[in-house]
Structure 1
Amino acid sequence: MKIYINLLLIVIVSFSVNAQNSISGKITDTENNPLIGVGIYAQEIHKGTTSKEDGNYILNNIPSGKIRITFSYLGYKTISKIIEFKSENKELNIQLEETSFEVDEIIISTPFNKLQSENVMKIERLSTKSIQKMGVTTLSQGITNIAGVSQISTGASIGKPVIRGLSGNRVLVYTQGIRLENQQFGGEHGLGINEAGISSIEVIKGPASLLYGSDALGGVLYLNPEKFASENAKEINFNQRYFSNTLGSNTSIGAKLSLENWKFLARGTYANHSDYKVPTNKRVTNTRFNEKDFKTGIAYSKNNFTSELRYNFNRSQLGLPEDGIAEQTTSKTLLEPYQVIDNHILSSHNHFFFGDSKLDIDLGYTFNDRQEFEEHHDEHEDEEEHEEEHEEAALRMKLKTFSYNVKYHFPKIGSIEILSGVQGLHQTNTNFGEELLIPDATINDFGVFTTANYTWNKNTLQAGIRYDNRSINTERHEISHDGDVHIFEAIDNFYNSFTTSLGFKTSLSDEITTRINVASGFRAPNLAELTSNGIHHGTNRFEKGNNNLTNEKNTQIDISLEYKTEHFELFANGFYNYLNDYIFIAPTGDIEDGEPVYSYLQENAKLYGGEFGFHLHPHPLDWLHLESTFETVVGKQDNGDYLPLIPANTWKNTFRTEFNIAKWLQQGYSSLTLASTFSQNNIGNFETPSEGYNLLNLGFGGDILLGKTKFSTTISVNNLLDKKYIHHLSRLKADGILNQGRNIVLGLSFTI
């Protein structure tokens, strides 16, 4: 390890030459009026600033080479420029044009980090600020407001993302720029990430194995951490939210400090909730939960080198509802059974600039400690013995993952950009509890890839190819349970695959843009699918793995069409996804240890559907927005049976206004949303149909100015009419337990 550190220091020193670059200028609107507070940001080097009262700006200490700089301001079109610096001070004046639609942001999850409007792939993006306006309880619930995204939920605390009908290991999660590994195969615990300290969420809908390897077969959820403060600035941020339904609160405090070369930030968050209440005015016992989250980061930039180090600790304590609506209390103390899940995430991002080319080295380490505490039924135990038993988890797994991602951006050849890289991970899973869900195991991944982007006129072509290899080795275990012996046989399996992608974007006119993407993906079976042999208490069934499972492979074609004018936007996305050897779990009809037996099978399958919508901003009613989206997905096996866990069709209509009231309320908004979920009758073999329902949601808020401090306020009322309903992907549906009733969420945040 010491050798590697010394080598890294030598490389850093070798790049610390005396070259200094800066860029300055003035930002105005189309009538040459100066714009105050325009964001100027260089994502690659973690540097940013804002324009002053006269519209002038300056950004110092920029490395030599080609750096992308974006200029963004609410209500104006974003401008992104790649500027080549060669030991000089550049002057660039920018004129921003007003727009009625969302700001065009840089997309970080794609290989060439272009503006959304420039990307070959259609990436959905949602800011955390907009999520908080919706009054959601968890991050997973918030992303369901993206068309084509849903969640498999357990109460109000636990949610797993579903992208176009695919979930679990088929959806890869990235946070702090590295792969998140936290036993995500399980449906009975959440993401393990708090939305505080996250600036935005990007969603790739469809195979992304070319960029991220195995497990990105269905899509990617990419969480962008909050930015550091502007150069030579400091700030303290406070955020508080209150939830009426769960009598819950979420408190977050953050601090930032930026100097010329160094930047620091830290944020602490605590959330605490009681059992959620259904429309019958009853609470669902033991759906209470609490969460502690701490994030910190440090960044350094000097000449041709930038580095960023971030750390996140999250402890989630989640009650597991087993008795439905039983004991009625507003206590926040967890009952058994419950889980305690610790996530430690450490990431290092390093960028080396070589003039026309660039090298990115991303390293990550995650440590997931998952404990499950079971309910005790022995009434003859004395209190001391019970307390000792209570302190030890029946199930405890520690998952350690080291990941790496090295990418080299070749010098641009005319209009051609080329990127090549290697990615991989080394992972170990170790059991410490008396029960076993999956065995002790070691997993190694290695992948190599190349992708290229070619732009001419109003057209862009992007293509790539990748090879991956995964090895899975497990130990043999014998577990005795109620007189029965469950054997976990050792396995030594290898999986490999080639994946490719091809995408084309063209502007048929100034108003019409179309995209066509064809991509393949793959997923190696996970440890649960290969090795399970026992009761899974989170799902109330006896699960049997199948170590003969092969890779899942898929090919998806995506077609999207966008029509956009100054006051009207229309989009249509269609997809067809064919999966070879789709892995799913199904009941066998047997009973073992008092629970129904489920086993893992494979069958070819297909999913198809799309998302459609429009956004109307009529003139001269500049304060009015009408938005509508419809999403649908159908999943079938080749034998004609429907796939399980496919979300129902939904149609959302939002009436939104924007306004200012004198000088005390700025950027004010109000919204009324009717979310219609249709009945789901296309169900898997062990599912039951779900009835449709309509939910009405209300939102109001804005920025209140008191002196020099701006207070951002939000008021949200979800399920305004206290409607009784059960979501098709609720894991409590089998017990007939209703989803959450009316929830009033009050939010306040300010920065000093």
Structure 2
Amino acid sequence: MRILLNTLLFLAIANLYAQNSIKGNVIDANTNQGIPFANIYFSELEKGTSSNETGYFSLENLPSGNHKIIISVLGYETKSLNLFIPNTNNLTISLTPSAIEMQAVIVSTPFHKLQSENVMKVEQQTITNLKANGAVNLADGITNIAGVESVTTGLSIGKPVIRGLSSNRVLVYTQGVRLENQQFGDEHGLGISDSGIESVEVIKGPASLLYGSDALGGVLYLNPEKFAQNNTSNADFSGNYFSNTQGFSTNAGYKSSDEHFKFLFRGSFAEHADYKTNVYRVTNTRFKEQDFKAGIGYQKEGFKTEFRYNINHSKLGIPEEIGEQSTNKTPLLPFQDLTNHIFSSKSTVFFNNARLDINLGYIYNDRKEFEEHHHDDDDDEHEHEEEHEEDEILEAALHMKLKTANYDIKYNLPKLGKFETIVGVQGMNQVNSNYGEEQLIPDATTNDIGVLATSHIHFEKTDVQLGARFDNRIIDIASGLQKNFNSFNGAFGVKTDIAKSITARINLATGFRAPNLSELTSDGAHEGTNRYEIGNTNLKSEQNFQTDIALEYKNEHVEFFVNGFYNTINNYIFLSPNGTVIDGNPVFIYLQDDAKLYGGEVGLHIHPHPLDWLHIESSFETVTGKQANNVYLPLIPANSITNILRVEFEKPWLKKGYSFIKLTTTFNQNNVSVFETTTNGYSLLSAGIGGSFNLFKNEATLTLSGTNLTNKTYINHLSRLKTDGVFNMGTNVIIGLTYNL
């Protein structure tokens, strides 16, 4: 491998001194007038600029070869072009007016295309939009994406659910590397702040071809904020206030770039009191979070690299029962104290018609959990009210450190006719160590390696994508036990334009998931789940096959889509009570059975011309999960329908103005597993308004939103507090201000 890398880097030297530039104009296709402030962006180079008042733009220091350029601006269809540099200059790019929102490049799939060009169906949402809809944090925000829900323990702890699959079946990527932070536990959240994240992408379905084990159910891909454009600098700060929790979140950032060097940093802080229902405050749902992100990059004509670092520290209360009614913000016992470090490096070497991508990551997760009986003075009930100002008086009952090094190396071969091909190798070394009095899972070392190849084949009206992959995972457990898992997986997809406005996608893919350390070896009580879990060392790998069919219709006035999937999983791993009790907790053991999940999403978006400012949106999502014996799977989200009326407006003093009203109806969930109870349906009303304006010669953005405006008393089927009859959050009004310097 070292010889290969050295050879490829040597071959790249000739490219490092190429001096290429492009210039051109962006014009309206109907009027031929220049379009000001259009975004011109090379997605593979991660380099861009904006057109000036007349539509003119220029970019320098570009490497030779084939590169994709994306041109986008509000009010026009996004356009992508393949350019061969240096044979391209004096471009004239015409854009067609459209009320359809701008498209963004999809990063989570290997060929970095617009969604309209992608063979796989990928959902994407910006963090700005999710927060404008009233999201309190990232785990809450992703539930606004069709087909995505969250298993929650209070407000601060949430795990993504994609089409009924969750936990280690959903892989999370951040800063270009896979996130590993002890996500085996149902009461273990994402551990990521939305501060410094630009957008979220969701692959719904098996993505083992691209990411290996743990991507059997899908991928949640978090895109970090981009560096500043060349020769620009900007700073911003923002704050949000949340009425329900009397909480707030603040963040501030600065970034600057010249022709070659670029850097950014962003810090944030958030804290919330216990959330309030129509009846009571839910004791110990309070939490605090501190987050810092930084990045530095360097770019030459044939080479680019960047290094990013993120540290996140949070204290999360674990709710157990309704007790103290206060607005204090420091967690009571029991609570989690989490510190997560993410180091990532992303480098690309460009050749004339090819490129080498090298992504490296190191994640250091330090998890501490504190319980009632570990307090120094168990007899003093008032110690809770001291709010643990001095953490040294507490001794962690559970203390685990997880250190993960991973790599992802891909070589984009020269384009051969209609074929774009990528070959790659990915791997991971992971060490789990225990330091606390209790031990849920033993010390262990996990090693992964996977090799893959995938191709995108372009035809006039049809695109085909196919690929194959082999993976090997070895888990060495401190007791001397070693588990070895292998899997071969493949994927095949077709996207075709049935008519001018109709696009169809069909994707067939297999996926796999090796049993995690908890499922194999767990032996202990889990706070937040109120159960004692016992692992099973005889578990086999889960293997699935999913069929996805997507149909989209889009014209100037209407967008309509329907997505359907059928997913069969062999050796599906699940927890089941065995009828015994240990230390007052019911005992659950891990079992396996074949399973199937099926369902989909339907959506409609009307933006009637000439009323381009008016948007009427509606979406419906459904999923059903069953074992082979037709017993329903646990933690399957209820069917729901969302209707949104949104208007966009501009005034001389207001830019990017919007307002919306949203009604989400969740239906009864009667299809429950043997140890679940049914859940009643409910409807939640939300609304919001916002826009940007000049304040002291700089842009400020003010937003106002409210969720559950009728203060509905309800329980979500995926709430971990459902078994105790604890309600979800009541009315919450959020005021946000962002100021750009």
Give TM-score, length-normalised by structure 2. Answer: 0.96
Matched, 1:454 2:454: no
Q: Which residue of 2 aligns with 1:326?
A: 323
Q: Distance in 2 between matches of 1:177 and 1:743?
A: 33
Q: Which residue of 1 aligns with 2:245?
A: 246
Q: Distance in 1 between matches of 2:283 and 2:202?
A: 33
Matched, 1:750 2:739: yes
Q: Distance in 1 between matches of 2:216 and 2:16?
A: 43
Structure 1 stretch displaced more, 40-49 or 581-590:
40-49
Q: Is this contact kept in 2: 1:213–1:447, CA < 8 A? A: yes
Q: Is this contact kept in 2: 1:664–1:706, CA < 8 A? A: no
Q: Is this contact kept in 1: 2:706–2:733, CA < 8 A? A: yes
- Residue type of the partner of 2:240? R
Change (3 A) 1:175 1:12: farther
Deviation at 1:622, TM superposition (A): 2.1
- Number of positions where the alignment pairs a residue of Structure 1 with one of Structure 2: 731
Change (3 A) 1:10 1:85: closer
3-state DSSP of counterpart to 2:510: strand
Q: Which residue of 2 aligns with 1:354?
A: 351
Cα offsets for 1:83-129 (capped at 9, x unmatched): 1213x772212121111122121111111111100111010000111
Matched, 1:143 2:142: yes
Matched, 1:712 2:701: yes
3-state DSSP of counterpart to 1:563: strand
Q: Which residue of 2 aligns with 1:647?
A: 637
Within 5 A, what are the aligned runs for 1:559-578? 559-578=549-568
Q: Is this contact kept in 2: 1:194–1:293, CA < 8 A? A: yes
3-state DSSP of counterpart to 2:560: strand
Within 5 A, what are the aligned runs for 1:56-95? 56-86=56-86, 90-95=89-94
Deviation at 1:665, TM superposition (A): 1.2
Q: Which residue of 2 aligns with 1:98?
A: 97
Q: Is this contact kept in 1: 2:12–2:351, CA < 8 A? A: no
Q: Which residue of 2 aligns with 1:531?
A: 521
Identify the match of residue 415 of structure 1 among 413, 418, 421: 418
Change (3 A) 1:620 1:539: same
Matched, 1:520 2:510: yes
3-state DSSP of counterpart to 2:129: helix
Change (3 A) 1:718 1:15: farther
- Residue type of the partner of 2:670? N
Structure 1 stretch displaced more, 507-516 or 588-597:
588-597
Change (3 A) 1:615 1:467: same
3-state DSSP of counterpart to 2:520: helix
Q: Distance in 2 between matches of 1:10 and 1:163?
A: 39
Q: Distance in 2 between matches of 1:695 and 1:132?
A: 17
Q: Is this contact kept in 2: 1:21–1:63, CA < 8 A? A: yes
Cα offsets for 1:571-602 (capped at 9, x unmatched): 00000000000000010001122211100000
3-state DSSP of counterpart to 1:90: coil
3-state DSSP of counterpart to 1:45: coil
Q: Is this contact kept in 1: 2:106–2:113, CA < 8 A? A: yes
3-state DSSP of counterpart to 1:325: coil
Deviation at 1:616, TM superposition (A): 0.6
Deviation at 1:434, TM superposition (A): 0.7
Deviation at 1:308, TM superposition (A): 1.0
Q: Which residue of 2 aligns with 1:35?
A: 35
Q: Is this contact kept in 1: 2:528–2:720, CA < 8 A? A: no
Structure 1 stretch displaced more, 703-712 or 271-280:
703-712
Within 5 A, what are the aligned runs for 1:561-600? 561-600=551-590
3-state DSSP of counterpart to 2:194: coil
Q: Is this contact kept in 2: 1:15–1:305, CA < 8 A? A: no
Structure 1 stretch displaced more, 711-720 or 165-174:
711-720
Identify the match of residue 307 of structure 1 among 305, 308, 323: 305
Deviation at 1:517, TM superposition (A): 0.4
- Residue type of the partner of 1:518? L
- Residue type of the partner of 1:743? N
Deviation at 1:340, TM superposition (A): 0.8
Q: Which residue of 1 aligns with 2:370?
A: 373
Q: Distance in 2 between matches of 1:12 and 1:737?
A: 63
Q: Distance in 1 between matches of 2:690 and 2:391?
A: 50
Q: Distance in 1 between matches of 2:418 and 2:449?
A: 30
Q: Which residue of 2 aligns with 1:484?
A: none
Q: Which residue of 2 aligns with 1:695?
A: 684
3-state DSSP of counterpart to 1:130: helix
Q: Which residue of 1 aligns with 2:496?
A: 506
Q: Which residue of 1 aligns with 2:177?
A: 178
Q: Which ranges in structure 2 are unaligned for 5 or more consecutive residues? A: none
Q: Is this contact kept in 2: 1:424–1:445, CA < 8 A? A: yes
Q: Which ranges in structure 1 are unaligned for 5 or more consecutive residues? A: 477-489
3-state DSSP of counterpart to 2:13: helix
Change (3 A) 1:435 1:21: same
Give TM-score, length-normalised by structure 1. Answer: 0.95
3-state DSSP of counterpart to 2:140: helix
Q: Is this contact kept in 2: 1:161–1:167, CA < 8 A? A: yes
Matched, 1:729 2:727: no
Q: Distance in 2 between matches of 1:702 and 1:579?
A: 46
Q: Is this contact kept in 1: 2:550–2:561, CA < 8 A? A: yes
Cα offsets for 1:427-456 (capped at 9, x unmatched): 000000010011100000000011111111
Q: Is this contact kept in 2: 1:155–1:287, CA < 8 A? A: yes
Cα offsets for 1:154-192 (capped at 9, x unmatched): 111111000000000000000001100001111213211
Structure 1 stretch displaced more, 32-41 or 687-696:
32-41
Cα offsets for 1:402-436 (capped at 9, x unmatched): 00011011111111111110001000000000100
Q: Distance in 2 between matches of 1:575 and 1:381?
A: 55
Q: Which residue of 1 aligns with 2:437?
A: 434
Cα offsets for 1:310-340 (capped at 9, x unmatched): 1111111101112x22111111122111111
Within 5 A, what are the aligned runs for 1:94-173? 94-173=93-172
Cα offsets for 1:57-104 (capped at 9, x unmatched): 111111112221211111211111121213x77221212111112212
- Residue type of the partner of 1:391? L
Q: Which residue of 2 aligns with 1:230?
A: 229
Identify the match of residue 669 of structure 2 among 656, 670, 680: 680
- Residue type of the partner of 2:326? T
Deviation at 1:44, TM superposition (A): 2.3
Q: Is this contact kept in 1: 2:187–2:527, CA < 8 A? A: no
Q: Is this contact kept in 1: 2:17–2:302, CA < 8 A? A: no
Q: Distance in 1 between matches of 2:443 and 2:393?
A: 24
Q: Distance in 2 between matches of 1:381 and 1:241?
A: 37
Q: Is this contact kept in 2: 1:46–1:299, CA < 8 A? A: no
3-state DSSP of counterpart to 1:129: helix
Q: Distance in 2 between matches of 1:181 and 1:716?
A: 33
3-state DSSP of counterpart to 1:153: strand
Q: Distance in 1 between matches of 2:608 and 2:313?
A: 47
Identify the match of residue 556 of structure 1 among 546, 558, 565: 546
Q: Is this contact kept in 1: 2:319–2:528, CA < 8 A? A: no
Cα offsets for 1:218-257 (capped at 9, x unmatched): 0000001111111100000111111000111110100011
Change (3 A) 1:380 1:739: closer
Deviation at 1:32, TM superposition (A): 2.2
Identify the match of residue 293 of structure 2 among 292, 295, 314: 295
Deviation at 1:48, TM superposition (A): 1.6
3-state DSSP of counterpart to 1:44: coil
Q: Is this contact kept in 2: 1:48–1:229, CA < 8 A? A: no
Q: Distance in 2 between matches of 1:375 and 1:631?
A: 41
- Sequence identity percentage: 55
Matched, 1:390 2:388: no
Cα offsets for 1:328-381 (capped at 9, x unmatched): 111112211111111111111111111011111111111000000111376458
